């Protein structure tokens, strides 16, 4: 049974809210903050309590529009919402002034996960959809039509699933007999394919579901493009804050902030050293990150894998970091596989 949206909203806890708000420093006058992942609106609502702040929020999911409209009616001069992907951040910033802070809180929200009709949860009995919004394909199309080689790569690389080979073979076998169109069918296939659960703390389906969700929503391409555009459009001295939940995302963010900061500004060893200063978009960044407090993890176990990283923009003129995309090409190529 699907829960009602309002009962779910009560169970929605924004992750590392206090830490995010503190880094935003919202009591400073006339700040513009972009919340790239509005979701349950937790960060935005907390920021709007400060009278001098303006918030522009984005979300690719149409289901948040009503919530955003409610906030708009409460704070008409302080808030605007765009149903847009954050890879298109430039469309929004161009019409507004440059932001002081840009926030990303990656992945799906509890509201999306617990709306079983969306098929994000392996507890769902519905169709396998997994589209966050403004996506081009559904997970159902992926598992029923993507060729074996690419499907295995998706599950192995994007899901970091060791038994991707067997899971893929069994998906291919099953779909030759009958279209796989419910979450329950997919769960059965994964369960029967797994010999070992290497991590007892997580469900055997978690990694395959993560892989499909990332692929359907092109989450790695979104993250890379979002980080680049945020760097290009944020004010000098402005901050980029990003909360991530799995190791692929964190690897990318850590690499980006570290290699494009003033402590290490030669992102490629093949780059001549006189270019060292060229790409130091961020102030000194030495792999610093925050994690949720014990108290938060007890209150909201979904926060346990969160990592918060933030970096401050220097005054270096932006030039497109091609090498960053090249570095993570393996993921981008997998996400771009044709259905
Ligand atoms: C973890 S939730 C954010 C929760 C939010 N910080 C809060 O306090 O309620 C992530 C949200 O970001 C949205 N999202 C994910 N990727 C996106 C993208 N590339 N562009 C725009 N929105 C995205 C999802 O639809 C989801 O609603």
pLDDT in tens, 191-221: 999 987 777 778 999 999 999 999 999 999 9
Q: List, for residues 229-241, the tens digit of each pLDDT value.
A: 999 999 999 999 9
How many whole angstroms from 218 Cα to the centroid of ligand 1?
13
Q: Is the CB of 135 under 6 A from ligand 1?
A: no
Distance separating alpha carbons of residues 155 and 300, to the nearest angstrom:
28
What is the number of H-type helices and E-type strands within the chain?
Answer: 16, 6
Q: What percent of the chain has pLDDT over 90?
A: 86
CA distances to 275, 287, 310 from 261, in Å: 13, 11, 12
Predicted pLDDT at 1: 40
- The 8 Å CB, 24+ separation contacts for 169-176 are 169/193, 171/143, 172/148, 175/143, 175/144
Q: Is the CB of 40 under 6 A from ligand 1?
A: yes
Q: Is the CB of 42 under 6 A from ligand 1?
A: yes
Predicted pLDDT at 275: 45
Predicted pLDDT at 293: 98
What's the mean pLDDT in 165-175? 98
Q: Is the CB of 43 under 6 A from ligand 1?
A: yes
Q: List, for residues 154-168, the tens digit of each pLDDT value.
A: 999 999 999 999 999
What's the mean pLDDT in 41-55? 96
Answer with the residue of higher pLDDT: 52 or 264. 52
How many whole angstroms from 116 Cα to the centroid of ligand 1?
17
What's the mean pLDDT in 8-25? 88
Answer with the residue of higher pLDDT: 9 or 63. 63
Q: Whose CA is nearest to atom 25 of ligand 1?
A: 61
Using CA of residue 322, residue 323, residue 329, residue 335, what is the dihedral sign?
Answer: negative
Residue 5 has pLDDT above 70, yes or no: no
Q: Is the CB of 109 under 6 A from ligand 1?
A: yes
Residue 21 has pLDDT above 80, yes or no: yes
- The mean predicted confidence, pLDDT, of the chain is 92
> Residue 55: beta bridge partners?
33, 79
Q: Is the CB of 104 under 6 A from ligand 1?
A: no
Q: Is the CB of 103 under 6 A from ligand 1?
A: no
Q: What percent of the chain has pLDDT over 70?
A: 92
Q: List, for residues 110-149, the tens digit of each pLDDT value.
A: 999 999 999 999 999 999 999 999 999 999 999 999 999 9
Q: Is the CB of 58 under 6 A from ligand 1?
A: yes
Distance separating alpha carbons of residues 131 and 214, to the nearest angstrom:
10
How many whole angstroms from 193 Cα to the centroid of ligand 1?
32
Distance separating alpha carbons of residues 209 and 186, to the nearest angstrom:
10
Tell me the pairing of strands 54-58 and 79-82.
Answer: parallel
Predicted pLDDT at 282: 97
Predicted pLDDT at 267: 52
Which ligand 1 atom is at minimum distance from the Cα of 243?
A: 1
Which residue in 240, 227, 243 sits closest to 303, CA to CA?
Answer: 243
Residue 15 has pLDDT above 80, yes or no: yes
Q: Is the CB of 41 under 6 A from ligand 1?
A: yes
What's the mean pLDDT in 38-64? 97
CA distances to 37, 62, 205, 223, 237 from 256, in Å: 20, 30, 30, 11, 17
- Of 23, 35, 39, the residue with max ligand 1 atoms within 8 A of its CB, to mutate for a pocket test, comes to 39
CA distances to 138, 175, 215, 271 from 222, in Å: 17, 30, 11, 26
């Amino acid at each position: 049974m699907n829960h009602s949206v309002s009962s779910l909203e009560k169970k929605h806890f924004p992750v590392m809210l206090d830490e995010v708000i503190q880094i935003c420093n919202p009591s400073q006058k006339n700040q513009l903050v972009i919340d790239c992942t509005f979701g349950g609106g937790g960060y935005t609502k907390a920021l709007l309590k400060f009278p001098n702040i303006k918030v522009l929020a984005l979300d690719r999911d149409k289901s948040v529009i009503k919530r955003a409209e409610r906030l708009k009616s409460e704070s008409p001069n302080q808030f605007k919402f765009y149903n847009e992907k954050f890879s298109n951040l430039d469309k929004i910033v161009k019409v507004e002034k440059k932001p002081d802070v840009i926030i990303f809180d990656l992945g799906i929200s509890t509201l999306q996960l617990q709306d079983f009709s969306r098929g994000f949860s392996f507890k769902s009995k519905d169709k396998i959809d997994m589209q966050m919004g403004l996506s081009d394909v559904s997970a159902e199309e992926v598992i029923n039509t993507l060729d074996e080689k690419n499907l295995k790569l998706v599950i192995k690389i994007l899901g970091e699933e060791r038994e991707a080979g067997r899971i893929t073979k069994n998906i291919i076998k099953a779909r030759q007999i009958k279209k796989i169109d419910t979450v329950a069918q997919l769960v059965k296939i994964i369960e029967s394919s797994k010999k070992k659960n290497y991590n007892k703390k997580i469900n055997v389906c978690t990694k395959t579901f993560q892989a499909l969700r990332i692929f359907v929503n092109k989450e790695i391409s979104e993250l890379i493009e979002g980080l680049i555009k945020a760097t290009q459009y944020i004010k000098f001295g402005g901050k980029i804050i990003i909360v991530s939940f799995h190791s692929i995302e964190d690897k990318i963010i850590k690499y980006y902030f570290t290699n494009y900061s003033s402590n290490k500004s030669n992102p490629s060893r093949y780059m001549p050293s006189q270019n060292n200063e060229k790409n130091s978009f961020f102030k000194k960044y030495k792999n610093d990150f925050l994690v949720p407090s014990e108290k938060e993890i007890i209150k909201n176990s979904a926060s346990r894998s969160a990592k918060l990283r933030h970096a401050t923009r220097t005054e270096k003129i932006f030039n497109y970091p091609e090498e960053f995309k090249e570095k993570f090409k393996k993921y981008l190529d997998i996400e771009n596989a044709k259905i």
